[in-house]
Structure 1
Amino acid sequence: MQDGTDSGALRHDQIPEIALAWHRAGRGAVLATVVETWGSAPRQPGSQLVIDASGAIMGSVSGGCVEGAVITEALEALEDGRSRVLTFGVSDETAFAVGLACGGTIRVLVEPVGIGLTEDLLAELVAARAARQPRVYAVHLGRWERRLVGLAYDPLTEAAAVRLRSDRSGLEEGDWFLAVHNPGLRMVIVGAVHIAQALAPMARACGYEVTLIDPRETFGAAARFPGERILDEWPDAALASLGPDARTAVVTLTHDTKLDDPAIRAALASDVFYLGCLGSTRTHAKRLDRLRAAGVPDAQLARIHAPVGLDIGAKTPAEIAVSVLAQITQVLRQGA
């Protein structure tokens, strides 16, 4: 596990962590955040870019069409210590040149770290993210008042809770911008089988931290899953150690009741937002009978997606992996 001091080792979705590391290293840091969009915008509100005093960047606020202007403004913000909101209109002709279907408008918040956005506030946000505690960073675009909204009472708590559930940053009445910082997405795959070989890299590409669980040495061999995190414990014990939460998806693929069933029971005892299980309709009916006999109530059993994946006629392991990831995305973004 990286300690966060080397920004080169951090992931592209760890922009607050990179900004804090750059600031503490004396490189200077400015956070640029999309606060509002109209028309065809390649990045959603909440998307971030961090810029240091030399012009080095990590992240994105537009897919490339306005980054140059944002960098220029960020360097000026480091000089004058002032936060600002920038508005960019991208014409249809310019949009086509940078690969967009049509034009649009983007508003970007630019904040120098250590001045308006204090080091202490940013460090508190980074600590909450590391502890998988949901937070909303609230900034008033007129008064430049800033604070983190968590579980404690705050006039913005209700609006923040709605945005956390929808995973969507944006503007609220009164010129408040609420930036959502949900815990990172995780996927736990039970069964280091051929479908998992395709699913794991696809999930990582979609932003999931992936963990494979399989106590069988032959299946869970590192040579079959180079670079993947593999736990060789029994699935229920492994899941208990991982502490699955509302930002975790669990997929069981072993076709072995001794492994799948304990994993399913452990997942159902948690707040995972998705649980999908491989097997035919007939196999799933037998699975439900076993779980009912073990005392799992029907209300919990209804959370299981089985046969796993969207019905797209998938045949190959890679196609099945596509259907599984598509279904997980659907549940994440649209609800069960």
Structure 2
Amino acid sequence: MGDHDAIPELALDWHQSGKKAALATVVETWGSAPRPVGSQLAISGEAGMAGSVSGGCVEGAVIAEALEALEDGKPRLLEFGVSDEDAFAVGLACGGRIRVLVEPVGAALPVALLADLVAARAQRTAIAYVVDVVRWQRRLAGPDDPDLGAVIAERMRSDKSGFEGETFVGIHNPPLRMAIVGAVHIAQPLVQMARLAGFAPTLIDPRPAFGAAERFPGETILDDWPDAALAAHGLDARTAVVTLTHDPKLDDPAILAALDSDMFYLGCLGSTRTHAKRVARLESAGVPADRIARIHAPVGLNIGAKSPAEIAVSILAEVIQRLRQG
């Protein structure tokens, strides 16, 4: 988690260190908006700030309101508009409006609730921060919530915070990750594309010649056997796994580990004939048919890709399709 994404964590740290803190959250947008719903800005009692709610065009006003909120202890729902004439100056094609919720930590946003949110994020647990902006009632909730469970589950799948009536549902999903087994030529463009799409990529390859740092400068590379590396890496509902080695001795342990997890995507390189042999091996190992059916193979959308970069595009497109469309 980068510093820009650790806004609740920073707000809690500021409050606990005696600096005071307020959290500002984009709760609604109309027209052209520089930051999506759910974006957050932390403001300290010393006027320090981290994060963003508008890319700079309304931060000054939000900070001023936040400092006042730290004095009177009351939350605020603010609305800002950017005219078409002023939009270009702040990087927008046209004007728009945003609503921003400002909550002083402790006085309005309970410290215990914020601490629980931070703990859930640290444990990579998807959670929703739910606040009724009329009654100012707050809670954390998940897909099993008796009132909003189905709505929260859908919002988590689509990574989309927003209003349900008078209640704002702020989605806090764990960061996306991609575990790539096989530091081959396709992996070189794939790690770059995955990062641009918001995934934290990790390469797994026990072969020193393939997983050399010189071939993947600056990348996280695990040189353990794939099943052990994936166990150390962790597999959950925000993790995609892609196997690229073409070697059953390396791919199969990774596939078995992935199929025994909650990962949302597993794609395996190889032709239709190669996959048929893979399926036969998995069936012989006792893997149920419904689990085998989770494998996307041949990996990637069928776009006629030829080069390593084109194949990487097809893989990433299929990963995103599975993430967003289920």
Q: TM-score, normalised by structure 1?
A: 0.88
1:137 Cα deviation after fit: 0.9
Inter-partner Cα distance in structure 2 for 1:236 and 1:155? 39
Q: List alignment gaps of at least 5 residues for structure 2.
A: none
Q: Which of 176, 191, 199 is the matching residue for 2:182? A: 191
1:1-336 pair list within 5 angstroms: 10-150=2-142, 154-173=146-165, 175-335=166-326
Q: Is the 8 A contact 1:10 1:18 kept in 2?
A: no
Aligned match of 1:3? none
Q: Is the 8 A contact 2:129 2:141 kept in 1?
A: yes
Inter-partner Cα distance in structure 1 for 2:47 and 2:83? 26
Inter-partner Cα distance in structure 1 for 2:274 and 2:70? 61
Helix, strand or coil at the partner of 1:12:
helix
Q: Which amino acid counterpart does residue 299 of structure 2 have in structure 1? A: V
Stretch moving more, 118-127 or 53-62: 53-62
Q: Is the 8 A contact 2:130 2:170 kept in 1?
A: yes
Q: List alignment gaps of at least 5 residues for structure 1.
A: 1-8
Q: Is the 8 A contact 2:23 2:43 kept in 1?
A: yes
Provide the identity percentage. 69
Change (3 A) 1:250 1:107: same
Helix, strand or coil at the partner of 2:128:
strand
Q: How many equivalent residue pairs? A: 326
Helix, strand or coil at the partner of 1:327:
helix
Q: Is the 8 A contact 2:143 2:152 kept in 1?
A: no
Q: Is the 8 A contact 1:186 1:248 kept in 2?
A: yes
Task: Summarize deviations over 1:233-281 as a string: whole Å, max 9, x none.
Answer: 2112222333311111001111111111221122112121111112233
Helix, strand or coil at the partner of 1:148:
strand
Inter-partner Cα distance in structure 1 for 2:162 and 2:246? 43
Task: Summarize deviations over 1:287-311 as a string: whole Å, max 9, x none.
Answer: 2333333333333233222222233
Change (3 A) 1:59 1:310: farther
Inter-partner Cα distance in structure 1 for 2:3 and 2:127? 19
1:333 Cα deviation after fit: 1.3
Helix, strand or coil at the partner of 2:298:
coil
Q: Which amino acid counterpart does residue 137 of structure 1 have in structure 2? A: Y
Q: Is the 8 A contact 2:128 2:140 kept in 1?
A: yes
Task: Summarize deviations over 1:147-184 as a string: whole Å, max 9, x none.
Answer: 212477654444433433333211112x1111111222
Helix, strand or coil at the partner of 2:203:
strand
Change (3 A) 1:152 1:291: closer
Inter-partner Cα distance in structure 1 for 2:323 and 2:46? 38
Change (3 A) 1:201 1:142: same
Aligned match of 1:6? none
Q: Which amino acid counterpart does residue 8 of structure 2 have in structure 1? A: P
Change (3 A) 1:153 1:318: closer
Q: Is the 8 A contact 2:11 2:42 kept in 1?
A: yes
Change (3 A) 1:207 1:28: farther
Change (3 A) 1:314 1:27: farther
RMSD of Structure 2 on Structure 1 (CA)? 2.3
Q: Which amino acid counterpart does residue 262 of structure 2 have in structure 1? A: D
Inter-partner Cα distance in structure 2 for 1:98 and 1:133? 35
Change (3 A) 1:16 1:323: same
Q: Is the 8 A contact 2:244 2:251 kept in 1?
A: yes
